[in-house]
C-alpha cells in the first residue's frame, strides 16, 4: 500500500499542511526542528495508534489547540480509502473511514501499515524490556489487527487485577479482614486466558522473525552474526513456540498460583506477558550490555528489515519510513540499508542534509521549513 495524500491539522508544529505523495522514494529535507519527523510520526500514528516518540497523545496536539487531525488517502492495489483520526487528549479519540460516520479508532488499523526506522530504535537493543515488548506487540497487531482488542483486554484485566492485589496488600498490612480469594481466582483465569493468546502470538512471531532477522543482519554486517531471538517468559522455562493456547493457559495459571503469596505482599502482578522480555543474542552473548554501538545499530536495523520482509511476505506491503537514520550510520551500513529498502512500494526518508541520503534513494524531494512542506 502507499499513501497518496497526507493532511494534518493542529498536529505537532503544523497548523495545517497538505502533502501530496507519490509511490516510490520521497525525501524530506530541512534543518533540525523544522517538522520532518512530525510528518512521518503522523503516518506512523495511523498504523499503530501511537507515536514512536511519546507514550501519550498530548504532545501531538499543537500547542494551544484542542485537538489534532491526521487524514490520509491510501491506495492498496485497486482500492482507495480515506482514513481520518481525531486526537482528543484526555477524551476518546475519534476515527472515520471513507468519510462514513464514526468507527472505533482501532478499526482503522491495517489500512495504513508502516515499518518505521528511527534513531529511537537503538533502544530496542539497549533499552528496557518494555521497548522490545512494544516492538513485538505492534508487529503482532500489524499482522493481525484484531490483536489490538486482545492487547487492550490484557491491559484492562491486568489493571483490575493489580487494583485487587493492592487492596489485598493494604488489608494485610493494616490487619484488616482478609480478602475473599475466590475473586482473585477469577481474575487469574481472565489474565491467563488473554495472556495465553498474547503469548502464543509473540512466540509464533518470533519463530518466523528469527531467520529473517539473521538474514538481514548478514546483509548489513556480513559475518557478524549469527543473531538469535530468545523469548524469556516470566512463567519460567517450558514456554516455547508451537505450544497450544491451552498449554500456555495452564502454564500461566500455575505460575500465578505459585506467585500469589509474593504478589499479595507486593500488590502487583508478577507473572504474565507484561513481565516478559525478548533477549537479543549476538553469537553467544546478549546484545544488551555486550554489543558495540555499531553492532547494536545493525541489530536494530535488522529487526526492522525483518519486520518489513514479514509484512511484505504476508501480502500488503507497508510504507517504509526512515527517519533521520542515515546520519547515524557509517558509509557502509548506509549504502547497504539504502539498497535493501530502495525497491519498496513507498519509502519516506527524512534528513537534515541531502548528502546523507545515499544516491540509490532518488525520488521526489520536499523541503520542510517554517511549518511548510514544499515539493522541489
Ligand X SMILES: Nc1ncnc2c1ncn2[C@@H]1O[C@H](COP(=O)(O)OP(=O)(O)O)[C@@H](O)[C@H]1O
State in angstroms the smallest separation of the CB of 350 from ligand X. 6
Q: Are strands 94-97 and 79-87 parallel, antiparallel or unpaired?
A: antiparallel
State in angstroms the smallest separation of the CB of 349 from Mg ion. 11
CA distances for 111 relative to 84, 144, 269, 345, angstroms = 11, 12, 35, 15
Residue ranges in 14-73 that form contacts with Mg ion under rule CB under 5 A:
37
Give 62 or 304: the residue with its C-beta nearer to ligand X. Answer: 62
Q: Per-residue string for binding with ligand X, 52-91, x by CB under 6 A?
A: -------x-xxx----------------------------
Q: Assign residue 346 a region: left if phi > 0, alpha if psi is -120 to 50, beta otherwise? A: beta
Query: What is d(CA 359, CA 259) in angstroms, rounded to the nearest whole number?
Result: 56
Q: Are strands 24-29 and 364-369 parallel, antiparallel or unpaired?
A: parallel
132 binds, among ligand X, Mg ion, none (CB under 5 to 8 A by kind): none
Query: What is d(CA 148, CA 111) in angstroms, rounded to the nearest whole number?
Result: 14
Q: Tell whether residue 51 is a contact of ligand X (CB under 6 A).
A: no
Residue with cell 503469596: 261
Q: Tell whether residue 213 is a contact of ligand X (CB under 6 A).
A: no
Q: Per-residue string for binding with ligand X, 248-287, x by CB under 6 A?
A: ----------------------------------------
Q: Tell whether residue 298 is a contact of Mg ion (CB under 5 A).
A: no
State in angstroms the smallest separation of the CB of 351 from Mg ion. 9
3-class secondary-structure state, position 248: helix
CA distances for 263 relative to 17, 52, 163, 267, angstroms = 50, 32, 12, 5
Give 35 or 273: the residue with its C-beta nearer to ligand X. Answer: 35
Q: Tell whether residue 13 is a contact of Mg ion (CB under 5 A).
A: no
Alpha-helical regions (H) of the chain: 36-48, 122-126, 129-143, 147-173, 181-220, 245-266, 293-313, 331-341
How many Å from the N-terminal Cα to the C-terminal Cα in the chain?
Answer: 24
308, 318 Cβ separation under 8 angstroms: yes
State in angstroms the smallest separation of the CB of 3 from ligand X. 17
48, 30 Cβ separation under 8 angstroms: no
12 binds, among Mg ion, ligand X, none (CB under 5 to 8 A by kind): ligand X
Give 53 or 232: the residue with its C-beta nearer to ligand X. Answer: 53
Give 31 or 181: the residue with its C-beta nearer to ligand X. Answer: 31
236 binds, among Mg ion, ligand X, none (CB under 5 to 8 A by kind): none
Residue ranges in 12-41 that form contacts with ligand X under rule CB under 6 A:
12-13, 30, 32-38
List contacts with ligand X (CB under 6 A). Answer: 12-13, 30, 32-38, 59, 61-63
Amino acid at each position: 500500500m502507499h499513501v497518496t495524500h497526507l493532511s494534518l491539522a493542529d498536529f505537532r508544529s503544523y497548523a495545517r499542511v497538505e502533502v501530496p505523495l507519490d509511490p516510490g522514494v520521497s525525501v524530506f529535507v530541512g534543518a533540525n526542528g523544522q517538522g520532518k519527523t512530525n510528518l512521518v510520526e503522523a503516518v506512523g500514528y495511523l498504523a499503530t495508534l501511537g507515536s514512536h516518540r511519546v507514550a501519550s497523545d498530548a504532545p501531538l496536539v499543537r500547542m494551544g489547540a484542542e485537538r489534532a487531525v491526521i487524514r490520509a488517502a491510501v491506495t492498496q492495489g485497486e482500492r482507495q480509502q480515506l482514513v481520518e483520526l481525531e486526537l482528543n487528549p484526555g477524551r476518546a479519540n475519534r476515527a472515520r473511514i471513507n468519510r462514513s460516520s464514526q468507527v472505533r479508532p482501532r478499526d482503522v488499523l491495517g489500512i495504513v501499515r508502516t515499518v518505521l526506522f528511527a534513531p529511537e530504535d537503538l533502544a530496542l537493543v539497549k533499552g528496557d524490556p518494555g521497548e522490545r515488548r512494544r516492538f513485538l506487540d505492534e508487529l503482532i497487531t500489524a499482522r493481525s489487527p484484531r490483536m489490538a482488542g486482545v492487547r487492550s483486554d490484557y491491559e484492562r484485566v491486568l489493571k483490575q487485577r493489580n487494583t485487587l492485589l493492592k487492596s489485598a496488600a493494604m488489608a494485610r498490612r493494616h490487619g484488616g479482614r482478609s480478602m475473599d480469594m475466590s475473586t482473585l481466582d477469577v481474575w487469574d483465569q481472565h489474565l491467563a486466558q488473554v495472556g495465553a493468546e498474547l503469548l502464543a502470538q509473540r512466540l509464533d512471531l518470533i519463530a518466523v522473525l528469527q531467520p529473517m532477522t539473521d538474514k538481514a543482519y548478514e546483509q548489513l554486517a556480513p559475518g557478524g552474526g549469527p543473531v538469535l531471538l530468545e523469548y524469556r517468559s516470566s512463567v519460567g522455562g517450558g514456554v516455547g513456540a508451537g505450544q497450544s493456547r491451552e498449554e500456555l493457559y495452564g502454564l500461566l495459571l500455575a505460575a500465578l498460583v505459585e506467585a500469589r503469596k509474593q504478589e499479595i505482599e507486593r500488590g502487583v502482578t508478577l507473572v504474565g506477558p507484561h513481565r516478559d522480555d525478548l533477549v537479543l543474542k549476538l553469537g553467544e552473548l546478549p546484545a544488551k550490555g555486550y554489543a558495540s554501538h555499531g553492532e547494536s545499530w545493525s541489530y536494530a536495523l535488522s529487526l526492522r528489515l525483518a519486520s518489513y520482509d514479514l509484512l511484505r511476505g504476508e501480502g500488503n506491503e507497508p510504507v517504509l519510513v526512515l527517519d533521520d537514520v542515515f546520519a547515524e550510520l557509517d558509509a557502509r551500513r548506509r549504502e547497504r540499508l539504502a539498497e535493501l529498502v530502495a525497491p519498496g512500494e513507498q519509502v519516506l526518508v527524512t534528513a537534515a542534509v541531502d548528502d546523507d541520503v545515499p544516491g540509490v534513494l532518488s525520488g521526489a524531494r520536499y523541503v520542510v521549513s517554517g511549518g511548510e512542506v514544499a515539493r522541489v
